[in-house]
Structure 1
Amino acid sequence: MGPKVLMTAKTLATPGLALLEQAGCAVSFLKEGTEAELAESLRSTPFDAVISRTLALPAIMIETAPALRVISRHGVGYNNVDIESATRRGVPVLIADGANGKSVAELAVGLALSVARKITTQDASIRARQWNRSAYGLQFAGKTAGIVAFGAIGRRVAEILRAMDMRIIAFDPHARDCSTTGVDWTETLDELLQESDLVSLHCPLTPETRNMITGPQLARMKPGAILINTARGGLIDEKALAEAVLSGHLAGAGLDTFADEPLPADHPFLSLPQIVMTPHMGGSTDAALDGVAISAARNVLDVLIDGKVDRRLLVNPAVLEHRTVEAK
């Protein structure tokens, strides 16, 4: 029997599933999609690989899966995986190869436009049999967009906004190449916040970036600016953001990710129409889901079949010291 692979969701896009099955893998799915079901599946079946979507993979789950040889993220974030536990076990954790980047970038720009032009509130107004043409919006052309983290998604957002005649500035302390044409770089996050009419976050959630946008940072933003987050909810102090919008300091925000998902019923964002929200669906397009599934499947097969990992996609390079896998 071939390697056993668990997908921590109910489905995997057909191209990725086909790759795994063609390689002889037996792929299992969660029927209910709950953490309890995931924990029981890992306890009861010796899976060689896990393709991890949104459910958490804490240390206790990883440690009760003795056959586990690789965790492949169905996406680019990895804060739902206990990296320390995986590393101790010699289990490589790999992310998808930016396959959903274009879709996430498009949503980021869509959220920005929705906030700036009040699209959702105007739509609701028309449905309420009102015809209010007095509520004006904001034009992006001629204004400044600040991109925080200039990876594949951040670069794509910059390309789109630059085509809309926005000036682009960027902040990324980890950027290796700061020579992108048409982009001005800031030395600090504060400098970017002070100059930008639109700020778009594209960072992973790490100890360094958690709560990187709190009250003081929001206060440094331009009056009437817009904040967009399609990265990770933990980047923002949500209470402080709600206060900044309610006070009128910020024109609004567009958010696809939140500290707790789904939002609790008493969350302050729910009463603020200036905050446009989507339910963590940046990568939920046909092309993105196909691409991410293919990348996640290839990461699994690299480890299970070839015993190698793509160093660019490896979250925990310390596993290479265990000699359970080697870099390509």
Structure 2
Amino acid sequence: MPYTILVTAPTLAPAGRQLLEAGGHRVIYLPESADGATIEKVLVDEPVDAVISRTLTLSAAAIQGAPRLKVISKHGVGVSNIAVDAATARGIPVYVTPGANAQSVAEMALGLLLAAARRIAWMDAQLRDGRWSRAQDGIELSGRTLGLVGFGQVARRLWRACQALGMSAWVYDPFLPQDAELDGAQRAGSLAELLDRSHVLSLHIPLTPQTRGLIGTAELAALPPDAILINTARGEVVDEAALIAALRSGALYAAGLDTTAQEPLMPGNPLLTLANVVLTPHVGGSTPAALAAMAEGAVRNVLGFLAGNPPAASACVNPSVLS
């Protein structure tokens, strides 16, 4: 049976598009200029059965105004742009595609770490401006400790890569089962215990009311001297004013950020003026391989649910609606 699927982006990777085309489904794509109001209008005007959500906000008003909406799938794993409570209130499951972009995000985290530790981006910019600036104060990572806040698939892959550099690791994840395999890492009983040991602090947690601003002035001050912060999670889990202050003062050696509180960054953002920050525009999971896996996973999520073959409950962020 053909369904009407709304994709909150101009396109999907071919792996996802081909699945939709093969089933003869009607697919509504949104232009680059679309915003939350556009989504609300489409959901009122069109008989949408399912939404594949990318970066645009899927608000409570949009969900409440979609009479035929039955299922939502995130193109990825972060659902901070989806009004999950509104979906739950209507009995609509919200699925994610866990692991689909984990390798790409882990590689981005590693790239940011190496660039931040050795000031690679700064030296590149200096050379392009005609200056032979040979920074010789970079940090050698061998023998240092990687602190991982959250120990999901991205964190595990990053840790495996850092093992090859001669690093050790500590993990803080209160949701991790006590008998979970840590791949040689040590487990911290509290965030404070982790911070005290972390020469590199890498964040791998979703944005929730509990994690918003989790890393602030006190947490940054608790890190060892010359520590590095890596964030490929969500910008809002860091108090950005505190981060900027720590970077300016030298209390923090450097930061590598794929996510920031403000996206896109506006020209006056202080992060853009700091030589000890490496910035990328939230593209950790945006390699062709990751985009293909996320597109296929998101399409399979919604089509499986609509056909009576729902995905595993572990991929649902509001599993109470499934009972």
TM-score bucket (shorter structure): over 0.9
For the residues of structure 1 that align with 2:61 and 2:9, how far apart are their CA atoms? 19
Is 1:262 aligned with 2:264?
yes
For the residues of structure 2 that align with 1:24 and 1:92, how far apart are their CA atoms? 23
Q: Specify the alignment match of 2:119 in structure 1.
A: 118
Does the 8 A contact of 1:8 with 1:33 survive in 2?
Answer: no
For the residues of structure 1 that align with 2:46 and 2:8, how far apart are their CA atoms? 14
Q: Specify the alignment match of 2:46 in structure 1.
A: 45
- Which secondary structure state, in structure 2, belongs to the residue aligned with residue 308 of structure 1? coil
For the residues of structure 1 that align with 2:319 and 2:273, how far apart are their CA atoms? 44
For the residues of structure 1 that align with 2:291 and 2:135, how far apart are their CA atoms? 40
Matched AA of 2:2: G
Does the 8 A contact of 2:95 with 2:301 survive in 1?
Answer: yes
For each residue in 1:270-302, what CA deviation from the matched residue of structure 2 results, as whole angstroms up to 9, or x when unmatched?
A: 111211111110111011000011110110111
Is 1:288 aligned with 2:290?
yes
Query: Taking every aligned residue pair, what percent have the same amino acid on both sides?
Result: 47
Cα offset, 1:17, TM superposition: 1.3
Cα offset, 1:307, TM superposition: 5.1
For the residues of structure 2 that align with 1:203 and 1:276, how far apart are their CA atoms? 20
1:236 to 235, 238, 243: 238
For the residues of structure 1 that align with 2:135 and 2:21, how far apart are their CA atoms? 58
For the residues of structure 2 that align with 1:6 and 1:234, how far apart are their CA atoms? 27
Cα offset, 1:20, TM superposition: 2.0
Q: Specify the alignment match of 2:29 in structure 1.
A: 29
Matched AA of 1:191: E
For the residues of structure 1 that align with 2:173 and 2:129, how far apart are their CA atoms? 44
Q: Specify the alignment match of 2:218 in structure 1.
A: 216
Report the count of equivalent residues.
321
Does the 8 A contact of 1:9 with 1:33 survive in 2?
Answer: no
Q: Please give the TM-score of this superposition, normalised by the length of structure 1.
A: 0.95
Q: Specify the alignment match of 2:165 in structure 1.
A: 164
For the residues of structure 2 that align with 1:259 and 1:136, how far apart are their CA atoms? 29
- Which secondary structure state, in structure 2, belongs to the residue aligned with residue 298 of structure 1? helix
Is 1:95 aligned with 2:93?
no
For the residues of structure 2 that align with 1:208 and 1:37, how far apart are their CA atoms? 30
- Which secondary structure state, in structure 2, belongs to the residue aligned with residue 51 of structure 1? strand
The alpha-carbon distance between structure 1 residues 106 and 16, as it changes in their structure 2 partners (threshold 3 A), is same
Does the 8 A contact of 1:150 with 1:170 survive in 2?
Answer: yes
Q: Specify the alignment match of 2:61 in structure 1.
A: 60
For the residues of structure 1 that align with 2:17 and 2:5, how far apart are their CA atoms? 10
Q: In terms of mean alpha carbon deviation, does 54-63 or 177-186 score higher?
A: 177-186
Q: Specify the alignment match of 1:245 in structure 2.
A: 247
Q: In terms of mean alpha carbon deviation, does 257-266 or 230-239 score higher?
A: 257-266
- Which secondary structure state, in structure 2, belongs to the residue aligned with residue 168 of structure 1? strand
Cα offset, 1:191, TM superposition: 1.1
- Which secondary structure state, in structure 1, belongs to the residue aligned with residue 255 of structure 2? strand
Q: Please give the TM-score of this superposition, normalised by the length of structure 2.
A: 0.96
Matched AA of 1:5: I
For the residues of structure 2 that align with 1:227 and 1:52, how far apart are their CA atoms? 29
